[in-house]
Chain A
Amino acid sequence: MQHVLELSHIRKSFGKELVLNDLSLSVQEHTATVLIGASGSGKSTLLRCINLLESIDDGQIFLDGVEISDPLINVDEVRRKLGMVFQSFNLFPHKTVLENITLAPMKVQSKSKEEAIESATKLLKRFDLADKADEYPDRLSGGQQQRVAIIRSLAINPRLLLLDEITSALDPVLVNEVLSIVRDLKSDGMTMVLATHEMGFATQVADEVCFLESGNILERGSAQEVLHSPKNPKTQEFLKRVHQAGRL
């Protein structure tokens, strides 16, 4: 099977700090890859590198077999194939929910306004947000904002969805409404890479769990293997701390 995404020997540093160190990873179509690890282990940086928001210092990134870490590649075209959802939502505050969602389809994919609105409305209906179409983001709850942000990234029909700790800014009650969307997408067969602190959720959706520590993947395998019977002592240590914090 062809890999949707393939990372080989990625290295990235900010000044003297080495954030990603010789990291390799491949993602197959219709699978969810979950990145876990302490804050500062490089999860977010990895996602931003895949989306070309950060440049890498060494290594190669392939999307559907094409090297996207080539400096001559058109970054805008690459990003059209990738959806990204951020921890802090990053909705456009001066645009309504509907305008947030239709902006990229209209300007990037040159869809007509009617067409863009039609598919946006379909998505809003599907995720129970149809009545919020004309609201501005700051009138919505955090959970609703994050769901809109997910819909916005889905509107360009991405090949791969990158989710960067999308529930970390939400209170526990709102987390579930966001995660249920991700479960939906998973069952639709969307290919995803997500960084999360929600271990229970990771168990439910992950085809593969990767434990990151100081910029490298120390342990990988099925959720069962990594989360419930970790072999690496550092993974055990991390999960013990998560468990003590009551997040497993």
Chain B
Amino acid sequence: MSERINSAWSPSSRELERARARKGISRRQALIAAVSSIIVIGTLLTIVVTSPGWEIVKKTFFDIGYGREVFPTVIAGLWINLQLTFIGGACIGVIALGLALMRTTKSPALTPFRFLATAYVDIFRGAPLILIILLVGFGVPALRLTGISSNVIFLGTVAVVLTYSAYVAEVIRSGILSIHPSQRAAARSLGLTSGQTMRYVVLPQAIRRVVPPLLNDFVSLLKDTGLVSILGVTDAVRAAQINASRTFNYTPYVVAAILFLLITIPMTRYTDRAIRQRTSAQNAEGAI
């Protein structure tokens, strides 16, 4: 349908004039952006650097030599955070999917599970993570149950998994509910059972739709694993804290923060891109 571009075409004088004007406009806009950035960032830097306490802050927060010294212990701690994130993330995925399916089922046999899943989500989504960590971390060992580990890393992970499963379950459930009923009607009219319809038609579309918010939760999960440090797990935050309290120099905190950012910024950039692609794909899909 599309005709081949005529190779003999050369822009008209009017088009050349417009191109010149467009170039002028974009050059002026770039200049304005540069000047305003210099003014804003320069002002902020000047305020910080000329503040009366700057010299002390520089010594206690940005001591490069000390930062280098504590770097190995902090990065060893970060390894714990990463392990927690990936092992916990896998558990969260499985539990959350189960919760989401229980909450969306209409099967009468599963009514008690639907009720329990709703209660679970209400409780763990509503209570602050740090309280859950404290309750699980100190409460479970106090029960003195045999066979249950009182390892703080294990208990911390359990607490994080309990809370995040509730969040992620709601994300997946919203994805399931976002699939248009006509998809279900089409699948059922082919003779697929409601279970098969969920498995082959609804869930694959739902999960694809919620990948961006799930990635978002994954970034939060990595950061929140830092909270298990209150149980005494030597993660990146705890390692920084130990060093800082020994010397009263807070550079280790900055080191830990930078290390977290080095992981989370690429992840959030990737998430943003995934969201953008998802949006444009949906627009192309039109009615569906």
Which residues on A are within 8 Å of B, measured CB to CB? 51, 53, 75-77, 79-80, 82-84, 86, 88, 90-94, 103-104, 107-108, 138, 149, 152-153, 156
Contacts and interface: CB of A to CB of B under 8 A. Distances in A.
Interface residues of B, number: 22
A178 to B, nearest CB: 17
Most chain-B CB neighbours within 10 Å: which of A83, A93, A152?
A: A93
Nearest to B191: A80
A86 B188 contact: no
Given A86-B182, A86-B185, A94-B204, A103 B286 contact: no
A53 B191 contact: no
A152 B208 CA distance: 23
A229 B200 CA distance: 49
A3 B185 CA distance: 26
Nearest to B182: A90
B186 interface: yes
Contacts of B204: 94
B191 A79 contact: yes
A103 B187 CA distance: 9
Given A93-B288, A94-B205, A104 B190 contact: yes
B192 A108 contact: yes
B285 A93 contact: yes
A103 B284 contact: no
B109 interface: no
A153 B185 contact: no
Contacts of A80: 190-191
Contacts of B193: 76
Interface in B124-151: none
Contacts of A149: 186
B285 A138 contact: yes
B183 interface: yes
B104 interface: no
Contact of A90 (B185, B191, B200, B205): B185
Contacts of A84: 186, 189
B284 to A, nearest CB: 7
Nearest to B209: A94
Contacts of B287: 88
Given A93-B285, A107-B196, A51 B189 contact: yes
B285 A156 contact: no
Contacts of A86: 182, 185-186
A149 to B, nearest CB: 8
B192 A103 contact: yes
A84 B192 CA distance: 13
Given A138-B285, A138-B286, A156 B183 contact: no
Given A103-B200, A138-B284, A138-B285, A90 B186 contact: yes
Contact of B185 (A53, A77, A152): A53
A103 B190 contact: yes
A26 to B, nearest CB: 22
B192 A76 contact: yes
